[in-house]
A and B are shown apart, each in its own frame.
Chain A
Amino acid sequence: MREHWHDTLEPALVQHLELTAIAIAIGFSIAFVLALIAHRVRHVEQPIGIVSALLYTIPSIALFEILVPFTGIGTGTVEIALVAYTLIILFPNILAGLQSAPPDVLEAARGMGLTRRQILTRVELPLAVPLIIGGLRVAVVSTISIATIAAFLLPKGLGYPIFLALKEPTPFKTEIYSAGALAVGLAIACDMGLVGLRHLLVPWWRTTR
């Protein structure tokens, strides 16, 4: 494993992080704006919920292939697919977070003379943080997992060494185990990082389980 760190594993890990980070950043921005809009305009969440659940059933490998005639083969195609999946996960979570403020709390905020904007930034957003981070955890871990499938399309990321190893008549175990362990390790590290972030941002939050 050490021999191949520099020529195979390190670049693959860095590419994997890049693919994931870009997808999460774009997906989060879009999901956040959409959730803010949906929060204002009520009664759109149930149709959106069902549509997004249906979209989430699209297998990643199929989505990657289907995008090819439209956007060609490249990082762009992979990112579009990854962003789509993060959107589907993040949007309902951010919206649920924004709507998690108890009615009496909102009533009190209004009674104190807060404007709509102030209620959003000082009451609803802080209260939404735990659910938003919960959504981010699922999104980041899923994106890391889905990004390994990108190797079917692109010689990038931790999936690629595995993909190559599987093409051999007798699959190379070292590549499979080391790249696989890195992918799992990366996912768990990111997940724990987000849990840490939640402790930092909302120390009062206690999960029931």
Chain B
Amino acid sequence: MIVADDANLHTFADALRFIGDNPGFLATKALEQLELSGAALGIALLIALPLGIALGHFHRGSSVAIGTSIVGRALPSLVLIAAFLTILGIGFVNNMVALAVLATGPILTNSFDGFDGVDRDAVEAARGMGMTRLQILRQVELPLSMPLLFTGLRIAAVTVVATAPIAAIAGGGGLGDVIVNQASYRLAGVLAASLCVMALSALVFLALLGLQALVTPKGLRRSKGAALAASPE
């Protein structure tokens, strides 16, 4: 837990100075964090994306998708990291697995919703035009599901990057190492690392928004506000 007997607005200036004095160190830590996050996200994508697409394409297993989203949301990240730690021990693997589990929920539910929600008439029309199942999947359902696929990816990526510092109490590395170690880095360092974590997740969010804009076909671009609203179910 952090101590703040001396905390005031000057601490904030100290934090900014800390960033100015140690850019290399913070960048290394940020890269460490991105590495962990990327690995976790990769695993989650490998598992959840094909599963969500398959379930959504065949319109099966909506209970699996809903169940995953509810359980996933109810599982606090701290609990998840701590629980896996008792099984896998301290270190990179534990944190990668815990973060991957966190990322699975949003990717699975959103890819399911995306493919399950594709207009049946569009699929019917594509079949009538003689498209094969694979062509329908790639040329009709995939582009139409793109907004939801990206929503899932964005939520998952931001969740993972934002949660990675918490993993530092389980030996995760990254900027979290600085955040949980006030004894060495003082409050200024803790704050500096917190600011970097904030910037990092905002960057990831914006990068994915940009990527989405790049890969979304022109005819499918919709208002962004709708896609960003938290889904109620």
Contact = CB atoms under 8 A, between A and B. Distances in A.
Interface of A: 45-46, 49-50, 52-54, 56-63, 65-66, 68-70, 72-73, 89, 92-93, 96, 130-131, 133-135, 137-138, 141-142, 144-146, 148-149, 151-155, 159, 162-163, 165-167, 171, 173, 176-177, 179-180, 183-184, 187-188, 191, 207, 209
* Residue of A50, A65, A96, A171 contacting most chain B CB atoms (<10 Å): A65
B225 A46 contact: yes
B187 A68 contact: yes
Contacts of A159: 76, 78
A89 to B, nearest CB: 5
B36 interface: no
Given A73-B2, A73-B4, A207-B233, A145 B76 contact: yes
Given A61-B179, A65-B2, 6 more contacts: A59-B197, A138-B230, A146-B76, A148-B79, A154-B1, A209-B66
B232 A70 contact: no
A65 B187 CA distance: 9
A68 B187 CA distance: 9
A23 to B, nearest CB: 15
A134 B7 CA distance: 39
B74 A57 contact: no
B82 A59 contact: no
Given A54-B205, A89-B230, A163-B169, A148 B76 contact: yes
Given A54-B202, A61-B165, A134-B232, A68 B76 contact: no
A49 B229 CA distance: 7
Contacts of B10: 69
Contacts of A93: 229-230, 232
B79 A49 contact: no
Interface string B9-26: 111100100000000000
A166 B169 contact: yes
A144 B76 contact: yes
9 contacts: A58-B201, A59-B162, A66-B198, A73-B2, A138-B230, A148-B78, A153-B1, A180-B76, A207-B233
B107 interface: no
A176 B83 contact: yes
* Residue of B158, B166, B229 contacting most chain A CB atoms (<10 Å): B229
Given A61-B197, A66-B191, A209-B233, A166 B79 contact: no
Given A135-B232, A145-B75, A59 B86 contact: no
Interface residues of B, number: 58
Interface string B191-215: 1001101100110111000000000
Contacts of A131: 232
B73 A96 contact: no
> At the interface, is chain A mostly helix, strand, loop or mixed?
helix
Nearest to A74: B4
Nearest to A66: B194
A52 to B, nearest CB: 8
Given A53-B205, A145-B74, A166-B85, A69 B11 contact: yes
Contacts of A173: 86
A131 to B, nearest CB: 6
Interface in B217-233: 223-226, 228-233
A195 B210 CA distance: 36
Given A65-B194, A70-B9, A57 B82 contact: no
B216 interface: no
A191 B85 CA distance: 27
Contact of A65 (B77, B83, B179): B179
Contact of B12 (A56, A69, A133, A153): A69
B170 A166 contact: yes
B40 interface: no
B196 to A, nearest CB: 8
A60 B201 CA distance: 11
Contacts of A46: 223-225
